[in-house]
Amino acid sequence: MSTGSCPVDHAAAAAGCPVSPRASAFDPFGPEYQADPPAAVRWSRDEEPVFYSPRLGYWVVTRYDDVKAVFRDNTTFSPSIALEKITPVSAEATATLAKYGYAMDRTLVNEDEPEHMPRRRVLMHPFTPEQLVHHEPMVRRLTREYVDRFVDAGKADLVDEMLWEVPLTVALHFLGVPEEDMATLREYSIAHTVNTWGRPSPEEQVAVAENVGKFWQYAGTVLDKLRQDPSGHGWIPYSIRAQREHPDVITDSYLHSIMMAGIVAAHETTANAAANAIKLLLENRSVWEEICADPGLIPHAVEECLRHSGSVAAWRRLVTRDTTVGGVPIPRGAKLLIVNSSANRDERHFDHPDEVDLRRDNATDHLTFGYGSHQCLGKNLARMELQIFLDELTRRLPHLELVPDQEFTYVPNTSFRGPEHLWVQWDPAANPERADPSIAELRRPVRIGEPSKRGVARTVTVVSVERAAEDVVEVALAATDGKPLPRWSPGAHVDLQLGELSRQYSLCGDPAEAGTYRIAVLKDPDSRGGSRYVHENLRPGTTLSLRGPRNHFRLDPTARHYVFVAGGIGITPIIAMADHVKAAGGSYELHYCGRDTTAMALLDRCRRDHGDRLHVHTSADGTRLDVAALLANPAEGTQIYACGPERLLDALAEASAHWPDDALHVEHFTTTQQVLDPAVEHGFDVDLADSGLTVRVAADQTVLAALRAAGVDVPSDCEEGLCGTCEVPVLDGEVDHRDVVLTKAERAAGTRMMTCCSRACGDRITLRL
């Protein structure tokens, strides 16, 4: 059943065919991938993160960093094949499609630059938070009507009885399309999925093509109707109106194609995401109960479900020039299957990714909505729907459970994923609204947009505070509700709220010690209050608010040898790393530097557990670490991990200058995505014409961050100048444009800017905000 041939010239390849047995066995239409895509490619994430699949004729990309890098670069990796049929179409099916005049072409999602971005920007307005708010009452009303229909039944197939039709109706409302023919549309849109991402047999292909053809014609008829009076609400009438002003940008072919693709984009994705989310939460009962008890967690639950069990499992890109992905050479013309569901479960980015953690700090990093210039425009509508579904169900049916032993089936395809049926049951006599009818009427606020990137805090209780060295205490923390705290990986830190201050501390306990986090805190004479607070106020029984854990200091598991260097209290993340490498049987050495041994925390533990791997360096004993000698000879496969005072880190950076670029790793408490060097940048003032405010942008700060700090909310997505979401109008002042969104002419006009990356050339700039 091979659809592609090996891209390597076998005659020329000395070692024969490089496609590994697992790669050649990979079948995205087989039961394993259909049941659980990220689990089916776990082997690839671990062993061969970029591989060629001869059965599919595609290169498959499975790790987080690689998938994101592909999404990020839409020139090298063209989206033009996103809607191409993954299974070659039979002559008969092609003829069937032709009979209906089927001419699906470029929409947004499969459009290249320079056409795509101007079109996206012209069509963005209906997706802005101010516009989306108007849809909330409609989504709420529909959801209630559907729940009312089955609330007293005691058993329901949620897909059939709610989760398919509500998103379809919402999609039609959003698009501004009449609500008739819902059942037919359901058949049509499944046909579109199978036609695009599935592997129908030759006989099925013709039946599928019939429905796709009819769907195409239906889309044309509705479009014609809307053209006669495009004054109404909805994205399609809005696009028809926009066509009058921008006929070159919004073409006829685009309108017909988006009319059909838009229904699927807005409907099936969301229906599947909702079914996946409810299934996942009911399978993790304690998490479901947490939401029932604290509905404030719903936006975070939505995000974690989208990460863990998103409805778009994989997406596609075409390689436009010879390049590399994850270090693997990929030729021009190759097709990529980028498995975003696998990226979302990559432990190199998400700690213990198979677990469901509503307070996961980086859940919003998931790639279920894609990333960069094509990132899903409708994601906030989808988030709104998912929040309302969870709100209504957890409030009205908190005792809902999955019907045991049901088998979940999925429409076989590479990309769109959700169970075809989701049977749930409950005891209607126990419905809370029978005792208190007002429960059915409650309405909790919906968050438009993603939940705060900082995650939700957990409440923890101090279990013990013990002296760990001179001026150092070791604090053990456990969850106040007695439940185990989430597992963490070496290098992770947590944010503790200490009175008015938030401070970050690396975890230094044993990651396997379930339920307890340990930190060690040095009383710093120059403390701005954090360490003093810990030393003076924390006692067993004190409760604190904690965020995280999060990890920006991850161990590369592939190193052949590790050199760990800790200075003073910098031992905290390093000891966890050394413990980990020791347990895994890896090769390492641990250098611990301090003033004298009495001031060195965790030294006994280091001595006990790391024996002759440990090298203690103290100035008191004259055994200071000779950094230059330690790093004199670069060794291939050796990685250096260091944490400690700036002086030590600077010396290590200097001494490792002749090592490979990525050999030295130092602790960062913030992500390094946008590093602005204050030595190169300058600060400036931003005058806001509408609100009369002046906001100072520091040299190491983005305009977006400064505006937010001043309470001025500007939406953003990529925050690196790719997607166009943070655009604002500029009234005065010259802009230093650093995005790839604006055209040359727009840059020259200087009337708009992307606040996430662009800056002022001079001392001030005026924005219409």
Per CB under 6 A, residues contacting ligand HEM are 71, 79, 108-109, 120, 174, 265-266, 269-270, 273, 310-312, 315, 368-372, 374-379, 381-382
d(CA 253, CA 257): 6
Task: Of 517, 508, 615, give the one whose Cα is nearest residue 572.
Answer: 508
| Residue 147 backbone phi and psi in degrees, to 5 | -65, -40
User: Whose Cβ is closer to ligand FES: residue 589's or residue 681's?
Assistant: 681
In the complex, the smallest distance separating the C-beta of residue 528 from ligand HEM, rounded to whole angstroms, is: 41
Q: Is 703 in the site for ligand FES (CB under 6 A)?
A: no
Q: Is 723 in the site for ligand FES (CB under 6 A)?
A: yes
Q: Is 726 in the site for ligand FES (CB under 6 A)?
A: yes
Sheet order of strands, 493-498 included = 501-506, 493-498, 543-550, 458-469, 472-479, 516-522
Radius of gyration of the chain, Cα coordinates, nearest whole angstrom: 28
Q: Is 754 in the site for ligand FES (CB under 6 A)?
A: yes
d(CA 93, CA 528): 71
d(CA 665, CA 292): 42
In the complex, the smallest distance separating the C-beta of residue 373 from ligand FES, rounded to whole angstroms, is: 8
Q: Is 765 in the site for ligand FES (CB under 6 A)?
A: no
In the complex, the smallest distance separating the C-beta of residue 386 from ligand HEM, rounded to whole angstroms, is: 7
Beta-carbon contacts of residue 230 (< 8 Å; ≥ 6 apart): 237, 240, 241
User: Whose Cβ is closer to ligand FES: residue 551's or residue 725's?
Assistant: 725
In the complex, the smallest distance separating the C-beta of residue 510 from ligand HEM, rounded to whole angstroms, is: 38
Q: Residue from 716, 759, 765, 769 that binds ligand FES (CB under 6 A)?
A: 716
Piece of the chain touching ligand FES by CB under 6 A; list 206-214, 512-520, 560-568, 718-726: 718-726
Q: Residue from 473, 496, 559, 756 that binds ligand FES (CB under 6 A)?
A: 756
d(CA 530, CA 665): 26
Q: Is 722 in the site for ligand FES (CB under 6 A)?
A: yes
Give the Cα-Cα-Cα angle 18, 23, 28 (nearest 5 degrees). Answer: 150
Task: Of 29, 26, 31, 70, give the one whose Cα is nearest residue 44.
Answer: 26
Q: Is 721 in the site for ligand FES (CB under 6 A)?
A: yes
User: Whose Cβ is closer to ligand FES: residue 136's or residue 719's?
Assistant: 719
User: Whose Cβ is closer to ligand FES: residue 72's or residue 352's?
Assistant: 72
Beta-carbon contacts of residue 594 (< 8 Å; ≥ 6 apart): 567, 568, 600, 616, 617, 618, 619
The answer to whether 512 touches 504, Cβ cutoff 8 Å, is no
Give residue number: closest CB to ligand HEM: 378
If binding means CB under 6 A, how many residues of this protein chain bind ligand FES?
14
Piece of the chain touching ligand FES by CB under 6 A; list 14-22, 126-134, 308-316, 723-731: 723-731
Task: Of 537, 536, 578, give the one whose Cα is nearest residue 561.
Answer: 578
Piece of the chain touching ligand FES by CB under 6 A; list 149-157, 462-470, 640-648, 724-732: 724-732
Judged by beta carbon distances under 5 to 8 A according to partner kind, the member of ligand FES, ligand HEM, none in contact with residue 54 is: none
User: Whose Cβ is closer to ligand HEM: residue 376's or residue 765's?
Assistant: 376
Sheet order of strands, 638-643 included = 614-618, 587-594, 561-567, 638-643, 664-666
In the complex, the smallest distance separating the C-beta of residue 371 from ligand FES, rounded to whole angstroms, is: 10
d(CA 200, CA 194): 7
d(CA 706, CA 557): 38
Q: Is 741 in the site for ligand FES (CB under 6 A)?
A: yes
Beta-carbon contacts of residue 463 (< 8 Å; ≥ 6 apart): 476, 477, 478, 516, 540
* 384: enclosing H helix or E strand: helix 379-396
Judged by beta carbon distances under 5 to 8 A according to partner kind, the member of ligand HEM, ligand FES, none in contact with residue 739 is: ligand FES
In the complex, the smallest distance separating the C-beta of residue 739 from ligand FES, rounded to whole angstroms, is: 5
Q: Residues interacting with ligand FES, by CB under 6 A? A: 716-719, 721-726, 739, 741, 754, 756
